[in-house]
Amino acid sequence: MKQISLGRALHPKDLNSIVTDERKGHLPEKIIQFGEGNFLRGFIDWMVHEMNKQGVFNGKVVAIQPTPHGKVVPKLNAQDGLYTLTLRGVVNGEKVDKHEIISSISRGINPYSDWQKVLKVAESKEIEFVFSNTTEAGLTYLEESYDGETSPLSFPGKLAAFLKHRYEVMGEVEGSGLTIIPCELVESNGDVLKSLVLRYAAEWGFSKKCVEWIEGQNRFCNTLVDRIVTGYPRDNADEFREKLGYEDVLMTVGEPYHLFAIEAGENIAARLPFTQAGLNVKWGDVTPHRNMKVRLLNGPHTMMFAVCYLAGTDTVLEAMTDTDLREFVEKGLYQEILPFVQMEEGEKREFADSVVERFLNPFTKHYLHDIGMNAVYKFKSRLIPSLLDFVKDRNELPAAITYSLAALIFYYKPFRVEGDFLIGKRGETEYVIRDNQAVLSLFKTKWDQLLEEEVELKEFISSILKNSNLWGMDLRKLPRLEDEVSFHLGQMLTVGMKQSNKQLLQKIKK
C-alpha cells in the first residue's frame, strides 16, 4: 500500500473509503484555543468540525502551544492543521470503529517564539471564543512578570495578557468581550480561571478600566467534560497506517461517548450551536451533571478497582467480562448508587447504561491499578455520599460499596517498602500502592500492628474507619459498618478474594 503523509500531499482520492474528509476552506478564525493536545483535538476540535460539516458554525480554531517544550504545533502546521480522529467503542450494543480527518484547526502558534502572532489574534473582530485544556496544573498561580513583548509562562498569565492587548486595541466596543470556556478538570474551572486572570491583572498593573472590561464584558463559563481520549496509538501504529493508507503523526484515538456541560445561557448556546449539530452538550447549571458523572462513572471505577484487581484481573474490560465481577459492579451501580443521584430518571438511567458500555469498550485498556491511585480520597469523594444516602434511605448498608471499602483496605496491605511507596502483592505479582505520604504511613503502621498481632482485626478496622482525615468523618457512626468491613476483610484474608467475591454474591442474591 502506498504510504503518504497527511497534509498538502493528501487529496480525497487518496483516502481509504473508511475515512471521511470534510474540509471547509476559507472559514474565519472564531476560536483561540490554549492547548493542542490529544484531548482538545479529540473533543473540542472534533465538535467544531461537526458543526462546520453541518454549516451551523463555520469557524476555525487557532491552537496555541501551552508549554515551552511542546512538539505538536510544528507537526500540526506541517499537516495544514489536519489530523485523523478514530472513535472506537460500543454504542447501543454495536461496535463502532470510525475514522475521520478533522479540519477545524487553521494553524498552530508557538507563543514562546511567536508571541506577536498571538497578540495579532487578539486584535481580530472575528474571534469570539476561548477554549483551553492545560491540565489541572494549568489552572494554578505562577509568580511571574510580564513585559508585553514575550509570552507569560502560565496559561492564566497568557490569557490576561491576551485580554489586555485586545482591550487596548478594540476598547469597549460591542463584541470586544470574549466567551471563555476552560475544559480543565477542576471544579468551578471558569470561576478559578477568572480569579487567576484578575490576580495577574492586579499584579501587572492593568488599568482600572481594563480590569472592569475583563470582569464585565468577558464571560468565564464553568464546565464539565467527559470523554476518554487515549491519544496516538503507539502500540498498533503500523496497523492503523496499513488500514488508513497514509501516515499521520497526530492521529488520536478516543471513545464515541462524549458529554460537555457548559454553565451559560441561551445567547451563548445560539452562537455555539453544539446541540443543533447533534452533540451531547448540556447548557445551564453544571452541578447536576458533575454529580451524576462523579457518582455513576467515577464511583463505580473506585468501587471496582481493588475488588477486581485482587481477584486477578488487570483492566476494566477484563473485569467486566468476568461474570461474577460484572454482577458485583452492576449491583453497586444500579441498586446502590443510581437511585440516589439527583437527576431526571431517564437521563440518569441512560448515563448509567452508557457507563456499562464504556466499561465494555474492547478498544480501551483502562488499568485498575491506575484507577487505584489516591484511592482513599477517591472513595471519600466518590462513594461515601452514595453510602450515606443509601443508609439514610434504607436503614441498612449497601453491600457492594461496603465490600469495596474492605477490598480497598486489603489493597493497601504492604508486602514491603520501596522508597516513598508501599509495595503490595497479588499472588506472585507485586504492585505499587500510590497515595500521599500521610495515607501510606498510616496504613503501614496499622497493617504492621495487625500482622504482628498487636491488635485484633476489629480493632484494626476501627482505627482506620474512625480516622476523619481519611474519610471526612468517623465512619464508625454508621450502624454495623465496622462489623461488616471486619467480616469481609477477614474473609479476604482467609479464603482469598475470588472465593470471598462468590460468597458476597450468594449473600446478595438471597
pLDDT at res. 329: 97
Burial class (CB in 10 A: 0-12, 13-18, 19+), 93: exposed
- Which amino acid makes up residue 97? D
Report which of residues 20 and 105 the model is more confident about: 105
| Closest C-alpha among 374, 370, 336, 369 to residue 470 | 374
Using DSSP, state whether 179 is helix, strand or coil.
Answer: strand
Q: Which of 22-26, 269-273, 480-484, 498-502 has the lowest mean pLDDT?
A: 22-26
The stretch 51-71 carries a mean pLDDT of 95
Cross-strand pairs, 109: 64
How many other C-beta atoms lie within 10 A of the C-beta of residue 82?
20
pLDDT at res. 484: 97
Burial class (CB in 10 A: 0-12, 13-18, 19+), 160: buried
The stretch 31-60 carries a mean pLDDT of 97
Instruction: Give the pLDDT band (50/70/90) at residue 365.
Output: confident
Compute the distance between CA of residue 435 and CA of residue 423 in angstroms, rounded to an integer.
Answer: 12
Sorted by where each begins, the domain ranges of the chain are 12-282, 287-509
Compute the distance between CA of residue 435 and CA of residue 433 in angstroms, rounded to an integer.
Answer: 7
pLDDT at res. 407: 98
pLDDT at res. 510: 61
Length of the chain: 510
pLDDT at res. 6: 53
| Closest C-alpha among 219, 203, 246, 222 to residue 79 | 246
Which pTM does this prediction carry? 0.86
- Asked if residues 85 and 34 have their Cβ atoms less than 8 Å apart, the reply is no
pLDDT at res. 507: 81
Instruction: Give the pLDDT band (50/70/90) at residue 18.
Output: low
The stretch 170-197 carries a mean pLDDT of 95
* Segment 298-307, tens digit of pLDDT: 999 999 999 9
The stretch 306-313 carries a mean pLDDT of 97
pLDDT at res. 291: 96
* Segment 114-159, tens digit of pLDDT: 999 999 999 999 999 999 999 888 999 999 999 999 999 999 999 9
pLDDT at res. 233: 92
- Asked if residues 75 and 56 have their Cβ atoms less than 8 Å apart, the reply is no
* Segment 377-430, tens digit of pLDDT: 999 999 999 999 999 999 999 999 999 999 999 999 999 999 888 999 999 999
pLDDT at res. 22: 74
- Show Cβ contacts of residue 308 under 8 Å, excluding neighbours closer than 6 positions: 316, 318, 319, 322, 325, 329, 368
What are the distances in angstroms from CA 301 to CA 258, 297, 298, 433?
Answer: 18, 6, 5, 17
Quickly list H helices, 149-265. 155-170, 189-203, 208-217, 237-244
* Segment 217-269, tens digit of pLDDT: 999 999 999 999 999 998 889 999 998 999 999 999 999 999 999 999 999 99
pLDDT at res. 3: 34
Which residue carries 509570552 as its cell?
Answer: 151
Quickly list H helices, 171-298. 189-203, 208-217, 237-244, 266-271, 287-293
Compute the distance between CA of residue 190 and CA of residue 301 in angstroms, rounded to an integer.
Answer: 27
pLDDT at res. 136: 84
Instruction: Give the pLDDT band (50/70/90) at residue 93.
Output: confident
The stretch 152-181 carries a mean pLDDT of 96
Which residue carries 507569560 as its cell?
Answer: 152
| Closest C-alpha among 408, 435, 470, 392 to residue 400 | 408
Half-sphere exposure of 239 (CA within 13 A, CB side): 6
Secondary element (H or E) of residue 469: helix 468-471
Give the fold, CATH level 3, of 287-509.
N-(1-d-carboxylethyl)-l-norvaline Dehydrogenase; domain 2 (1.10.1040)
Sign for the CA dihedral angle at 478, 482, 485, 487 comes to: negative
Mean pLDDT of the chain: 93
pLDDT at res. 14: 41
- Show Cβ contacts of residue 374 under 8 Å, excluding neighbours closer than 6 positions: 434, 435, 436
Domain 12-282 listed as CATH 3.90.1150.10: no
For the chain, percent of residues with pLDDT exceeding 70: 96
| Closest C-alpha among 176, 128, 167, 120 to residue 30 | 128
Pairing verdict, β 252-254 and 229-231: antiparallel
Instruction: Give the pLDDT band (50/70/90) at residue 506.
Output: confident
> Is the predicted pLDDT of residue 485 greater than 50, yes or no?
yes
* Segment 204-216, tens digit of pLDDT: 999 999 999 999 9
* Segment 334-348, tens digit of pLDDT: 999 999 999 999 999
Backbone φ and ψ for 281, nearest 5 degrees, come out as -120, 130
Instruction: Give the pLDDT band (50/70/90) at residue 5.
Output: low
pLDDT at res. 17: 40
